[in-house]
Every structure is written in C-alpha cells, then in structure tokens.
Amino acid sequence: MKFFKYHGAGNDFVLIDNRGEEIPEERKPDLARQLCNRRFGIGGDGLILIESSSKADVKMRIFNPNGSEPQMCGNGIRCIAKHIYDSGTERDEISIETLASIKDVMVSREWETTYVRVNMGKPLFERKDIPATGEGRLLEEKLEVNGEEFEIYAVNTGVPHVVIFVEDIKKADVLNIGRAVRNNALFPQGTNVNFLEIAGDNLFKIRTYERGVEGETLACGTGITASGVIGAVAGEVDPGEPIKIVARGGTVYIEVEMKDTEIETAFMNGPAELIFVGEIDV
C-alpha cells in the first residue's frame, strides 16, 4: 500500500488516499496503531485517511496512535490540503469535510515552503460544547493537580483544549501535569493540554500534551488555535493583528475575527511539508 509521510510544524502523519475504499472501516483503528508505531511501523502522531465526500472536495479521517478518532486535527488538515494541491488540482482553495465541520482552506507558497490557511470556525467556550462538567464557561477556573493549583482556560477548537499560562515554557512539566489534567474528572471525554508562555507582543511559546498520542507532540494545530483564541480572550494580545505561536516543531499564526467582544472566527496559517513517500505491506 502506498503511503505519504507529512508533517505540519513537526506534527507528523502517515497519509493514505482511501478514496477507493481499500481500507474497510473496521480495520482503521488497528491500522493506525500499526503504522504510527515508531519502532515497528512507519511512525507518526496520527494516521490520516483521505476519503470521498458528498459535501466537500474531500473528507478527512484522522486516527491517533492509540486507535481513537478525534473530530479534527489542525496540522493534519494542512497536510491534506498540501497533498491535494500537489496532486495536480491547480486549486488553491479546497474544502475538507471533518467530523467537526467542513473547513475551507487556502494554499500558498512562500519560498520553498507550503503554507495553508484554515478557517477553523467559531471557538466554543460553553462547558457542554467542550465537553466538561458543570455549567457556563471554563475561563480562569482554579484546578488542583498533583497538589498544585493551576488557573485554566478551556475551549473547543474542533477538539477540547485546556490552556495554562506559564512563566517559563522550558520548565513546564508537560508530561505529568498534562496527563493529570487530560484525565481529570472535569473532562469526561478527556482534553488536550497546552502550556503557554507570553514571549512578546502577540507572541507566544507553546508546548502541548495531546490526548490520543498520550504524550507531548512537537506541535498541535487545534491547540495552537485554542491558545491564540485564549490569548485574545484573556486580553494578552492585540486581536487585530496576527498572533505568532512558536511550537517546538515550528511556527504557526492565528488570526481572530471579533464581533463586538466575542470571537466569531479563528484562522490558522502554518506550514505543511512532504517528508517522503513509500509502500508498506499491511
């Protein structure tokens, strides 16, 4: 079976074009566990399947290394857009169906790098939409984790995210604190956890613990979007200017469109790169 290895800001994926439905539905979770294994497979933060869509140009399915299926993946959708663009469509505007919603993307070239701008839609703050227990919004709430109290913000940008501001990103205990928050009873379906350092005007540094990967990744597109959004909500950025967020694997930019005091839409703009192409017997 032919596969493509892509990365978006260091978040790497095995991508397979499944529009011919060669991979049956019941096989997909196990295939993700097999192919994403970094010792006995190809290795990756997720398996992306491109499938046919009756609502958009293509449909994205994304499976985590543990076989679970999130609704959306920000870095992954950029990789799909690059793949479709490079496959000869000669179209820089592409619509991609996800389990969260249909996302409109725009592909551009800057020097040798492909950048993809994604309309991530309206961020959701209500607990029922994250989902989280209780009522109202989860903004600036205190949460005790491993005997330490943290102030958390929560938002759904396609999948649930928590954002925690830290003084020094290098010292953040991403694995232990991230795992504890991810599994906290406050989040019945779990959550991704982002640690965010204010590094300048409209500039953040970020590290992310990803649900499904169950560890830190070099970047998380929906997490970067969530962090840019929370930066605006917390008053830490100028929402009229692009927000630069530097992950360990690369830099992604977030833009927000405001309606009165509410964020109406968030846009994510970041790189997507092909690493190599191969074939594997599955």
List, for residues 171-194, the tens digit of each pLDDT value.
Answer: 999 999 999 999 999 999 999 999
Could you give the CA distance from residue 235 to residue 140 in angstroms, rounded to a whole number? Answer: 12
Residues known to be catalytic: 73, 220
Q: What mean pLDDT comes out for the span 274-280?
A: 96
Q: Which 3 state secondary structure label does DSSP give 90?
A: coil
Residues 180, 139: Cα–Cα separation, whole Å: 19
The mean pLDDT value of the chain amounts to: 96
> What residue spans of 114-262 are helical by DSSP H?
174-182, 221-233
Contact 219, 226 (CB under 8 A): no
Per-residue pLDDT, 109:
80
Classify strands 113-121 and 139-145 as parallel, antiparallel or unpaired: unpaired
Of 74, 83, 81, give the one whose Cα is nearest residue 95. 81
Compute the Cα dihedral for 61, 65, 68, 70 and give only its sign. negative
| Among 194, 248, 190, CA closest to 70 | 190
In tens, the pLDDT along 216-231 reads: 999 999 999 999 999 9
| Segment holding 79, helix H or strand E | helix 74-84
CB 37 within 8 A of CB 282: no
Query: CB atoms < 10 A from the CB of 68, how many?
Result: 17
List the beta bridge partners of residue 64: none
List pLDDT tens digits, range 1-14: 999 999 999 999 99
Cβ 220 vs Cβ 11: under 8 Å: yes
Burial group, residue 181, by CB count within 10 angstroms (0-12, 13-18, 19+): buried
Q: Which domains does the chain have, with CATH numbers?
A: 2-112+273-279 (3.10.310.10), 127-270 (3.10.310.10)
Q: Rounded to an integer, what distance in angstroms lies between the CA atom of residue 76 and that of residue 118?
A: 11
Confidence band, pLDDT 50/70/90 cuts, at residue 110: confident
What is the C-alpha separation between 273 and 8, in angstroms, rounded?
6
Write the pLDDT tens digit of every residue in 71-106.
999 999 999 999 999 998 778 999 999 999 999 999
Identify the DSSP state of 87.
Answer: I
pLDDT for residue 192: 98
Overall average pLDDT of the 226-244 stretch: 97
CA distance linking residue 156 with residue 273, whole number of Å: 26
Cα 149 to Cα 119, 145, 152, 236: the distances in Å are: 34, 6, 10, 21
Q: Please, how many CA atoms are within 13 Å of residue 42, restricted to the half-sphere of its CB?
A: 29
- pLDDT(111) > 70: no
Amino acid 173 reads D
